[in-house]
Amino acid sequence: MSSLAGRDGSHLTGVALVFASAAVFSLAGVLTKAIASDGWTIACWRGCVGGALIVAYSAWAGRARPASERIRLGWRGWLLATVGALSSLAFIYAFKLTYLANVAVIYATAPFMAAGLGWLAIREPVRRRTLAAAVVALIGVVVIFGGGLGTGSLTGDIVALAMAFGCALYMVLIRTFRGTDAVLANGVSALQLFAVGVFVIDPLAVPVRDIPLLATFGLTFAIASVLWVEGTRRIPASEAGLIGTAETPFAILLAWLMLAELPPTASFAGGAIVLAAVIGHALGDAAAARK
């Protein structure tokens, strides 16, 4: 009985951690929009604050291992970090260039892109359910892009699509490089943006009102990353994926409440199609796991 109670307690903790991670991650768009500084400045500050905290957490979590192993990435880890850095930069610029809702919804298609890349790169089987959901999600993205034709948001939608592709590639690399410390690579990717950013811009030449927002962005990035890692260790991947979709409606709701940002009707229609595909796929996975 005590063993069963322990498993139930661990599962509930995992659910709470992943849900909290999704809620914290959803702040990224609002913070990016609220900060007056350019994308490189935001990436530089987030990399400095968030990257340092994640690397420190990785070192603490692996404290039982020798110090030389805790800081070793290898070429696989550096490749992961570089792909993550480029995706993060596109993520930030996408928020600057288009509606927050568009970025959040397009990002939700990343798991389906990862399924396709996994099949191409490592011949990972693609289930019919995943293929069907990917087709539906693609229709939703096309609707969103149609709404951006002839407007300035189209460039941001394209950048968001590139970001989602980069995130999908990151997912496939994590599955391929199973022995690589993905948490450490995530922290290093943020520090890479900081290291490059100091040569691109002057990170201290920012409005005073932006400084607490920039520091908060880095802090929330680190907190959300750690919560996600600790949560996904305790629950099935399918359930984590379902709970993680809460980030999209959270982000859209915050954009409306805090920024009064209402995207065009096409964004709502396309977003509803994508969310239906993502949630339907995740529910199917959860049901299969219970059986």
Q: pLDDT class for 47, splitting at 50, 70, 90?
A: very high
d(C-alpha 106, C-alpha 159), whole Å: 10
Q: pLDDT class for 4, splitting at 50, 70, 90?
A: very low
Q: What is the pLDDT of residues 5-19, one digit of tens each?
A: 455 567 788 888 888
The token duo for 217 is: 């962005």
The token duo for 112 is: 């389906």
Residue 5 lies in a domain: no
Q: What is the pLDDT of residues 194-221, one digit of tens each?
A: 999 999 888 888 888 999 999 999 999 9
Domain count across the chain: 1
Give the model's pLDDT for residue 1.
45
d(C-alpha 50, C-alpha 225), whole Å: 9
d(C-alpha 141, C-alpha 161), whole Å: 9
Mean pLDDT of the chain: 82
DSSP type of residue 177: S
Residue 1 lies in a domain: no
Residue 4 lies in a domain: no
User: What is the pTM (predicted TM-score) of this model?
Assistant: 0.82
Residue 61 lies in a domain: yes
What is the residue whose two structure tokens read 């397009």?
A: 106
Q: What is the pLDDT of residues 51-63, one digit of tens each?
A: 999 988 888 877 7
Question: Which range marks the domain in which residue 282 is found?
Answer: 10-290
The larger pLDDT score, comparing residue 107 to residue 121, is at 107
DSSP character string of 187-232: HHHHHHHHHHHHHHS-TT-S-TTHHHHHHHHHHHHHHHHHHHHHHH
Residue 219 lies in a domain: yes
d(C-alpha 105, C-alpha 97), whole Å: 15
Give the model's pLDDT for residue 69.
65
Q: What is the pLDDT of residues 131-159, one digit of tens each?
A: 888 888 888 888 887 766 555 578 888 99
Q: What is the mean pLDDT of residues 247-263?
A: 82
Residue 74 lies in a domain: yes
d(C-alpha 291, C-alpha 279), whole Å: 18
The token duo for 255 is: 């954009």
